Amino acid sequence: MIPIEYEPPVEDARVVIGIGTLKTNTVLQYDEDYEDVISWGAKALAGEPSKKARNSQPRPVELFKLHLGDVPESKKPKLPDGITPERAITDYLREMGKVIKDEIKRCWSNVDFYHHVRIIVTVPSGFSEKTKSIMRKCLFDARLIKRIGTLSLQFTTEPEAAAIHCMSMLKEHGLSTGAKYLIVDCGGGTVDLTVRKLLPDNKLGETTMRSEDFCGGSYVDDKFLEFLEKKVGKSAMDELKEKNYGQVNYMVQQFCFHVKIPFTGKESDFVTFEWDIERKCPALKKYVTGSEKNKLREDDWIIDLDYKTVKGFFDPVIDKILKLIEDQLKKCPDCSVIFLVGGFSESKYLQTRVKQTFEHKIKVAVPPRPVIAVVSGACEYGLDTKAVSTRVLKWTYGVQVSPKWQPGDPPSRKDSNGRIKKFCLMAEKEVQVDVDKEFSERYYPVYPNQTSIAFRIYYTSKYRATYCDEPEMNFLGTNRPVMLTLRFGSMEIFLKATNETNGKVYRTTFCSTE
């Protein structure tokens, strides 16, 4: 990543836009050459299969944001040649931006988009500094911001946005200043958790380090597809995904509508669902062979989804969520309420399992519309960015320094100038900091005639480090303008370097070079 021009935030913000997870599907439909976007969101999802032969469109591009997270490679969706995750995200944001700009122009004709609009983007809590810088670059390329370093664009995590949204419900649960509550944001891909404390003047503080895992609602869909693969054979499913991916997409839609969403976990509520392959996925028949084909012929190409089977799709996913909640409550046993938010939290079965496991010791609440909690909270944060007072650092931060090599240092690390490159700690992970707290260190030139200093800034998931090339160490960026000041409490890292000789001050944030 490289430093980018710092630009103060919009002072005359008349419109706040929250961009995050909602019911808008992260799907793009390109033309045959993958040059232009034909449709996006819900319109890009596959419709009901047609029995008429016709030219099929290329496979839609979906769930591309998963490429930015620390997701196992096997779970990342395959992208067509020439389509990078950054390209897909940029194209998606550009299409979204067209709608946003048209709507603002329709409602407020006197609003200048680049001067009067503040944009708040929510990201999973597991996103790294590099990932946020990639998102900033994508938003710039999508023309949602005019200058890449503008602070009119700000980030917050999805659970933090949800925590802000849930502040309005604290009184009805008897919570007052000093009370702590746990946000469990159950999305499609990730589940993110954060514990927040209500501070005076209706402010929020973070009390434990955020946690997350890949156990959102889409993993229930994956379990369904795995079950189907066992019934029709792996080769048949592989061919279907390769040649008729739209029908796979349609099957998942139908599974969600008819089975996943209505499932309550109560056997008395459940009626075995007949999955008719000829209606739901006619193309699949021609790929099924051998004993699987013979068995399905006998059953008229119908697969029964009974209670035990469907429950088995949910349980491994929900068990992971329960473990995440349990681990957070161990860190903060005096939490008063668990709030379930996000699209998957609308699942009655998930709600029941969470209540059965934890309600004997803590309240469990679900907002009226949990799916909008994140994006609504993003807008509320944009209206008052001071609502969050403290955050817990997810990473350990520091800079590379070059002290003189000393006896006891590894000989192999001694350079030709008799120095050694080391990691100098500035802020340690899991430390609670005020969002405006500045961490400063004074650095001196190595050589008398040196006119500039290059600050190489690193972060790591470890608590301590000695060298900048250790495992899990990540390079954040270089700043060359020598008082170095960094602010880690914000959702992005902001740097200030002061030349104490001439008084010049340099400010920057960072952007990916990719």
Q: SS3 string of 387-415?
A: CEEEEECCCEEEEEECCECCECECHHHCC
Looking at residue 172, its pLDDT comes to 87
Q: Is 185 or 10 the better-scoring residue by pLDDT?
A: 185
Strands 388-392 and 363-365, how do they pair? unpaired
Query: pLDDT band for position 510 (50/70/90)?
Result: low
Mean pLDDT, rounded, for 494-507: 59
How many Å apart are CA 67 and CA 334, to the nearest integer? 36
Looking at residue 409, its pLDDT comes to 94
432 burial class (0-12, 13-18, 19+ CB within 10 angstroms)? middle
Residue 2 scores a pLDDT above 50? no
Query: pLDDT band for position 18 (50/70/90)?
Result: confident
How many Å apart are CA 261 and CA 370, to the nearest integer? 14
In sequence order, which residues have a C-beta less than 8 Å from that of residue 18 and are 6 or more positions away? 120, 122, 161, 375, 376, 377, 378, 379, 381, 382
Residue 194 three-state SS: strand
CB distance 256 to 221 below 8 Å: yes
Task: Work out the mean pLDDT of the chain and round it to a whole number.
Answer: 86
How many Å apart are CA 18 and CA 1, to the nearest integer? 25
The tokens for 173 are 């649960």
Mean pLDDT, rounded, for 108-116: 90
Residue 54 scores a pLDDT above 70? no
The tokens for 26 are 């992260």
Q: Convert 129-143 to b/e letters by CB count within 10 Å (16 or more is b).
A: bbbbbbbbbbbbbbe
In sequence order, which residues have a C-beta less than 8 Å from that of residue 70 and are 6 or more positions away? 126, 128
Looking at residue 386, its pLDDT comes to 87
pTM exceeds 0.85, yes or no: no
Domains and CATH numbers, the chain: 27-151 (no CATH), 162-214+328-383 (3.30.420.40), 390-510 (2.60.34.10)
Owner of token pair 């897909």: 88
How many Å apart are CA 339 and CA 175, to the nearest integer? 13
